[in-house]
Structure 1
Amino acid sequence: MVTESSSPQIDPSSDPSTPYYVHPSDSQFRIANEKFNGSGFNDWKRSVIISLSSKNKLGFIDGSISKPEINTGLYKCWFRVNSTIISWFIQALDTHIARSILYFDSAQEIWTNLQFGQTTGAQIFSLQQQIAEIQQGTDSISLFYTKIKMLWDELDAASPLPICSCDKCTCQVIRRIHTMQEENRLIQFLMKLRPEFNNVRGNIMIQAPLPTISMAYRLLMQEERHKEVYQANHVTDDASAFLANKRRFLDSSNNAGNNSSWNYNRFSSGNNQIIRSGGSQGNYMRRSNLFCDHCKIKGHTKENCWKIHGYPPDIKDKWKGKRVANMVQEDLNQSSTSIEPNQAAPQFTAEQYSKLMSLLEHNKAETSEKHDNTAFVAGMIAYYLLIMILG
């Protein structure tokens, strides 16, 4: 008969429910994704705590599992787990930091040494300064919220709020301090946003009591998505309207081309112009840097020159008159500069001379009544230009 005192004792290292259990795959386990190099200790510390908690080994660094006596059977189990955690620390630290903790005997001593000197007054001041200077800028709502929340979390780790240790506390002062901190951080977050969120920011700040930071974050995210959808639809509507106007112009040009030999599409595309039909407002043209070698005018090439291929049949007379006058005036200036010293001036025929004299007599009679020489000079210049074109 086997008594209770004589029953074999179960090895805690073989029981997965105990912190002394070590799985064969734990030798490849990593307690942090990035190695600690001296900066960002609070983030690295948080990763280590989460990893050790998942392995039920957190008691080996916070002091809740003390080192047993050497002559007891539990010491071997503790020593194995302690050595495993030390190896995890060495793999999660930068090379020069890992050498500084290499000769510590316990994981608790390593953890205490790493935390010593990490939280200083200078670090707290630096975090407060970064929180005061951070702005949204060109960041999205989610990215900006992530940045400022990381600073808040680091500040909480460096300078945590006090915790009440009373068994029957009725003043709830810690809860009120936490509420004040949340409200201050909400105002910090809202006042650092871009001016385009002024409306939703004002709506949030007039609420009583103020919403939580997470609620305000969701409202701002909805507003940001609304603006993105509106801007996308607005750009699409503008593009559709432009294409519709262009299509109507091309259709009207094709209909006009059915009654004549003029090709609007060839000249509008060849001149590299954007034409927008505007009814009584006329056509708006934006010219490129093309240059015609024939008429010496910018905005088109020789292959699409109206002086060679002819003018559109239904173009407006007012616009055509201004355009032709400009073209003829430029031709006249170029022709006058290109005449050789000994070259003879253009000769008039008898018919042309007769028309010119009759026009001069008519203009002279008008100017004698109006006492204005402008019409007389304008008439001479206009007829002279007409002869130069027709001659």
Structure 2
Amino acid sequence: MAELWGHIDGTTPAPADATKLAEWKIKDARVMSWITGSCDSKIVLNLCPYRSAQTMREYLKKVYNQTNSARRFQLECEIVDYTQGSLSIQDYYSRFQNLWVEFSDIVCAAVSKVSLADVLVVYEISKRDQFLMKLRSDFENAHSNLMNRHPPPTLDVCFSELLREEQRLLTQTTLEQEKMNTTHMAFSVHGKSKGKDMSKVQCFSCKNYGHIAANCTQKFCNYCKKHGHIIKDV
């Protein structure tokens, strides 16, 4: 396969020897058939004047090769505008990673191997900071804690800790909701007694109906046999 690739990039030129040339032409014709077979029929017509795989490739590259400038700009805008919003930490992280991977591939393609390592270090720092800065306010404490560490943690570590923080917040919210529901239920049950028919309720102090001893205006103590209080008040 590497030998056939040489027919495309020109590293395997046509030999001068007639015997080897015949073999070379067979291989070159095979590559040309692959090229035409992978192109649209309208484009194939444009390739007819070219008699080698290399010249076909050069024509296609000159006419149809396009830079990724437009896509890179689009990704930059999407990354700038992207925030967590109502997404879970997992969904936010996954989409964030996809944007950055595609963006990095486009940018790093034009970077030399010598400089690539340094560029990737800068990108990882920027990616982590943007990920943390665009969390919603629920995670403000966790975000501040992660940003203020020395040395700052990697994005993977931040993601792991934010998943735990999300679970903690979810548990806390659930407990608070259950507490509110319990309080509301207790209030509702207590409130039902207010609608009770008091005309059938007898005061154990004065023996009259319509009120209870706590609200009785004719309190009588059955212990000391005096008016004005009940035994509970003594």
TM-score (norm 2): 0.59
Q: How does 1:195-206 map to 2 (within 5 A)?
A: 195-206=137-148
Shift of 1:133: 1.9
1:65-94: CA deviation from partner (whole Å, max 9, x where unpaired): 75756933254345335534653x44xxxx
Q: Which residue of 1 aligns with 2:81?
A: 133
Q: Which amino acid aligns with 2:169?
A: K
Distance 1:110 1:217 in 2: 47
SS at match of 2:98: helix
Change (3 A) 1:216 1:99: farther
Q: Which amino acid aligns with 1:276?
A: S
Q: Which residue of 2 aligns with 1:185?
A: 127
Distance 1:314 1:66 in 2: 110
Q: Which amino acid aligns with 1:277?
A: V
Q: Which amino acid aligns with 1:143?
A: D
Greater relative CO (CA pairs within 8 A, separation 6+): 2
Distance 1:201 1:78 in 2: 59
Distance 1:153 1:86 in 2: 32
Shift of 1:113: 5.4
2:13 maps to 1:63 = no
1:219 to 161, 183, 204: 161
1:156 to 92, 104, 113: 104
Q: Which residue of 2 aligns with 1:209?
A: 151
Shift of 1:207: 1.5
Shift of 1:225: 3.1
Q: Which residue of 2 aligns with 1:142?
A: 90
Q: Which residue of 2 aligns with 1:79?
A: 29
Q: How does 1:102-113 map to 2 (within 5 A)?
A: 102-103=44-45, 104=47, 106=53, 108-109=57-58, 112=61
Change (3 A) 1:110 1:197: farther
Shift of 1:201: 0.8
Distance 2:149 2:156 in 1: 15
2:79 maps to 1:118 = no
Matched-pair contact (CA < 8 Å) for 1:162–1:174: yes
RMSD: 4.3
Q: Which amino acid aligns with 1:117?
A: Q
2:188 to 261, 276, 279: 276
Change (3 A) 1:210 1:63: farther
Distance 2:82 2:113 in 1: 32
Matched-pair contact (CA < 8 Å) for 2:68–2:106: yes
State the identity %.
19
Shift of 1:142: 2.5
Distance 1:147 1:61 in 2: 40
The total of aligned residue pairs comes to: 192
Change (3 A) 1:174 1:73: closer
| Higher CA-based Rg | 1
5+ residue gaps, structure 2, are 203-208, 212-234
Distance 2:85 2:7 in 1: 42
Quick check: 65-74 or 133-142, which moved more?
A: 65-74
Change (3 A) 1:179 1:133: same
Distance 2:185 2:79 in 1: 51
1:270-293: CA deviation from partner (whole Å, max 9, x where unpaired): xxxxx8223xxx4389xxxxxxxx
Distance 2:7 2:125 in 1: 35
Shift of 1:181: 2.4
Shift of 1:193: 0.9
5+ residue gaps, structure 1, are 1-17, 21-56, 91-97, 166-172, 246-274, 286-305, 319-391
Shift of 1:196: 0.5
TM-score (norm 1): 0.39
Matched-pair contact (CA < 8 Å) for 1:101–1:110: no
Change (3 A) 1:276 1:108: same
